[in-house]
């Protein structure tokens, strides 16, 4: 932890959600509360002093992000920056058309803004990603149309850490403005080239919460979607929080300097987690690009485990981590990022290391994790393979069609998991597969959307054949789908 930071847990491994306040930010905030409290739009002495501090902060942020100072506007959050950026660029480029393009793994702020745009009569195209969470530049370019007003692509994914080919995509945009959400990478990595609009969030890099950044390149058409206001270049209405902005700028400069030293060390610690977890825990899948990734973030998913239960166990052991599990009690829907990647969505844990993460803490995390997972799985009575035997191959036959379905005379074992939420359908499958003869088929009836992804992922991890999906009614169900698995081992 940074000196002076007090948390309720002994080890904080969730900086992708929010980073502890950096000591430089704390110092700058305290000083700016005394010197920058006045209205920077006023001409009296205290107002001019606040304006000088605001201008200096803007210069600092612009320098780190590779922009001009007059291209930088400060918002109330990273989410607001994204929303204003998307809506403002669409409004400014409405003569081109009303078509918006974004990747399938963007932050929810993009997805919700796209939904609003579509509800208002616009059109939206979603670019798929591969199993590592990465878009294809050619695939992204193929989604662009003559009426495309804006393209959106994150610099790096917030759930799995995969770094996107922003510069390659930008080179293929052919005049279509590109908004890059750099919330997870700003301060940690160089800003990718080719952006037309850029957004970031101070609390991700150790600045105070409540400060976002919206950068709009000179020459990019932009029309504020909100009523006119003279502040922040007319892009963001309302009074700016000068002390918080000063602290955000100071900490951004500090963490960028630290990143040059820390990234290699954090990359090695994350590599240690990526390689060790599959050796220590059976039936686990580490997701995201193993090479083109953020240096501090790793995500893995455990079969037969509710992500929130696993998170709670780790919290009791003194580790604050995050779960993007499909089984969160607040939504009961799969993570849209993991769903788009086609990977296991249950039992998901994201570890994101702070700049000063200690190797000893990483080793302690790896020491306690297997026992916590075993404790959660113990009541299930499953016969799990040794960790070293766990495979991570892509599911065989994923997305299969009718040609692989059992014939009318083939015996099928039916497992009724209707009404059961993940990971229960997969647990029921794992319990019953041993009673099915080699070459036999088991049909899992489920109405939980997560089963559509998790059952094929289970097949890939256990070396079984996924034979496709059929209506549950074909096997006596009154709703949902039947997921067909052929036993091969």
pLDDT digit string, tens, across residues 37-60:
999 989 999 999 999 999 999 999
Would you say 200 and 66 are in contact if contact means Cβ atoms under 8 Å apart? Answer: no
Residues ≥6 apart with Cβ < 8 Å to 38: 44, 46, 47, 49, 50
Q: What is the edge-to-edge ordering of all strands in the sheet holding 212-216? A: 72-75, 212-216, 197-201, 178-181, 148-154, 99-103, 123-127
Instruction: Please choose, from the candidates 411, 427, 412, the residue with its C-alpha nearest in 3D space to the C-alpha of residue 484.
Output: 412
Q: Which residues of 200-210 are buried (b: 16+ CB within 10 A; e: fewer)?
A: bbbbbbbbbbb
Residue 231's pLDDT is 84
For residue 102, list its beta bridge partners: 126, 152
Instruction: Please choose, from the candidates 14, 8, 173, the residue with its C-alpha nearest in 3D space to the C-alpha of residue 102.
Output: 173
Residue 294's pLDDT is 97
Q: Which parts of 193-270 are beta strand (E)?
A: 197-201, 212-216
262-389 and 402-486 agree in CATH topology: no
Pairing of strands 99-103, 148-154: parallel
Distance between CA atoms of 185 and 190, rounded to whole angstroms? 8
Structure-token pair, residue 219? 């020459």
Burial of 6 (0-12, 13-18, 19+ CB in 10 A): exposed
Residue 462's pLDDT is 83
Per-residue pLDDT band for 27 (boundaries 50, 70, 90) equals very high
Mapped onto helix, strand or coil, the DSSP state of residue 397 is: coil
Residue 404 pLDDT greater than 70, yes or no:
no
Distance between CA atoms of 291 and 270, rounded to whole angstroms? 11
Residue 329 pLDDT greater than 80, yes or no:
no
User: Tokens 């920056």 map to which residue?
Assistant: 81
Residue 7's pLDDT is 46
C-alpha to C-alpha distances, 159 to 17, 166, 187, nearest whole angstrom: 10, 18, 18
**Residue 339 vs residue 208, higher pLDDT:** 208
Structure-token pair, residue 249? 């700028």
Per-residue pLDDT band for 453 (boundaries 50, 70, 90) equals confident
CATH (residue range 18-255):
3.40.640.10
Residue 489's pLDDT is 86
Q: For 457-468, what is each residue's pLDDT tens digit?
A: 888 888 899 999
Q: Which CATH class is domain 262-389?
A: alpha beta
Pairing of strands 123-127, 178-181: unpaired
CATH (residue range 402-486):
3.30.110.40
DSSP state of 147: T
Q: Which of 173, 302, 327, 422 is catalytic?
A: 327
Q: For 214-271, what is each residue's pLDDT tens digit?
A: 999 999 999 999 888 888 888 888 889 999 999 999 999 999 999 988 999 999 999 9
Residue 406's pLDDT is 54
Q: For 269-327, what is each residue's pLDDT tens digit?
A: 999 999 999 999 998 999 999 999 999 999 999 988 888 889 999 999 999 999 865 44
Residue 169 pLDDT greater than 80, yes or no:
yes
Which secondary structure element, helix H or strand E, spans residue 22, and what is its range?
none
Residue 107 pLDDT greater than 90, yes or no:
yes
Instruction: Please choose, from the candidates 481, 139, 461, 483, the residue with its C-alpha nearest in 3D space to the C-alpha of residue 126.
Output: 139
Measure CA 251 to chain center: 23
Residues ≥6 apart with Cβ < 8 Å to 168: 137
Structure-token pair, residue 422? 């993940």
Tell me the CB-side half-sphere exposure of residue 402, using CA atoms within 13 A.
3
Structure-token pair, residue 65? 């992000």
Distance between CA atoms of 191 and 178, rounded to whole angstroms? 14
Q: Which sequence spans correspond to the domains of the chain? A: 18-255, 262-389, 402-486
Residue 382's pLDDT is 72
Structure-token pair, residue 413? 């074992």
For residue 442, list its beta bridge partners: 413, 485
Positive/negative CA dihedral, 457, 302, 285, 11: positive
Per-residue pLDDT band for 9 (boundaries 50, 70, 90) equals low
% pLDDT > 90, the chain = 72
Distance between CA atoms of 359 and 142, rounded to whole angstroms? 44
As a whole number, the mean pLDDT across the chain is 89
Q: How far does the chain reach from its first CA to its final CA, in angstroms? A: 48
Would you say 213 and 199 are in contact if contact means Cβ atoms under 8 Å apart? Answer: yes
User: Tokens 């948390």 map to which residue?
Assistant: 7
Known active-site residue 327: yes
- Per-residue pLDDT, averaged over 435-442, amounts to 91
Question: Considering only 156-170, 208-222, 377-391, 419-433, which range has the smallest mean pLDDT?
Answer: 377-391
Residue 270's pLDDT is 97
Q: Which residues of 441-479 are buried (b: 16+ CB within 10 A; e: fewer)?
A: bbbbbbbbbbbbbbbbbbbbbbebbbbbbbebeebebee
Residue 5's pLDDT is 41
Structure-token pair, residue 320? 């604050």
Residue 396's pLDDT is 41
**Residue 378 vs residue 245, higher pLDDT:** 245
Distance between CA atoms of 244 and 364, rounded to whole angstroms? 35
User: Tokens 């599959």 map to which residue?
Assistant: 278
Q: Which residues of 374-409 are buried (b: 16+ CB within 10 A; e: fewer)?
A: eebbeeeeeebeebeebeeeebbbbebeeeebbeee
User: Tokens 């850490």 map to which residue?
Assistant: 161
Tell me the CB-side half-sphere exposure of residue 56, using CA atoms within 13 A.
15
Residue 132 pLDDT greater than 70, yes or no:
yes
């Amino acid at each position: 932890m940074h000196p002076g930071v007090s948390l309720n847990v002994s080890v904080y491994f969730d900086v992708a959600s929010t980073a502890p306040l950096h000591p430089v930010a704390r110092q700058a905030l305290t000083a700016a509360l005394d010197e920058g409290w006045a209205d920077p739009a006023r001409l009296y002495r205290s107002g001019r002093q606040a304006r000088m501090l605001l201008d200096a902060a803007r210069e600092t942020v612009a320098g780190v992000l590779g922009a001009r100072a007059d291209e930088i506007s400060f918002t109330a959050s990273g989410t607001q920056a994204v929303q204003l950026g998307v809506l403002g660029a669409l409004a400014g480029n409405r003569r081109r058309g009303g078509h918006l393009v974004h990747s399938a793994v963007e932050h929810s702020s993009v997805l919700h803004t796209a939904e609003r745009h579509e509800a208002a009569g616009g059109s939206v195209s979603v670019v798929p990603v591969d199993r590592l969470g990465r878009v294809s530049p050619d695939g992204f370019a193929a989604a662009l149309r003559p009426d495309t007003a804006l393209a959106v692509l994150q610099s790096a994914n917030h759930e799995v850490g995969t770094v996107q080919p922003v510069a390659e995509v930008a080179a293929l945009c052919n005049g279509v403005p590109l908004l890059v959400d750099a919330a997870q990478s700003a301060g940690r990595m160089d800003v990718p080239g080719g952006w037309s609009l850029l957004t970031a969030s101070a609390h991700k890099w150790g600045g105070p919460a409540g400060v976002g950044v919206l950068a709009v390149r000179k020459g990019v058409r932009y029309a504020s979607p909100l009523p006119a206001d003279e502040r922040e270049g007319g892009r963001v209405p309302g009074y700016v929080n000068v002390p918080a902005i000063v602290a955000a700028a100071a900490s951004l400069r500090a963490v960028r300097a630290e990143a040059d030293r820390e990234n290699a060390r954090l990359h090695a610690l994350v590599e240690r987690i990526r390689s060790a977890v599959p050796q220590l825990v059976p039936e686990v899948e580490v997701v995201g690009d193993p090479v083109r990734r953020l240096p501090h973030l790793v995500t893995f998913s455990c079969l037969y485990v509710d992500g929130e239960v696993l998170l709670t166990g780790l919290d009791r052991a003194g580790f604050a981590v995050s779960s993007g599990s499909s089984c969160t009690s607040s939504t009961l829907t799969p993570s849209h990022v993991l769903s788009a990647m086609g990977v296991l969505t249950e039992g998901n844990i994201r570890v994101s290391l702070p700049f000063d993460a200690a190797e000893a803490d990483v080793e302690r995390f790896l020491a306690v994790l297997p026992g916590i997972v075993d404790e959660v799985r113990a009541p299930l009575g499953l016969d799990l393979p040794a960790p070293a035997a766990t495979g991570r191959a892509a599911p065989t036959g994923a997305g299969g069609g009718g040609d692989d379905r059992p014939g009318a005379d083939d015996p099928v074992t039916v497992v009724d998991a209707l009404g059961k939420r993940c990971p229960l359908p997969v647990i029921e499958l794992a319990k019953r597969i041993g009673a099915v003869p080699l070459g036999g088929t088991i049909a899992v009836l489920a109405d939980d959307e997560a089963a559509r992804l998790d059952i094929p992922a289970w097949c890939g991890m256990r070396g079984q054949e996924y034979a496709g999906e059929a209506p549950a009614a074909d096997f006596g169900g009154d709703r949902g789908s039947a997921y067909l698995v052929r036993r091969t081992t």
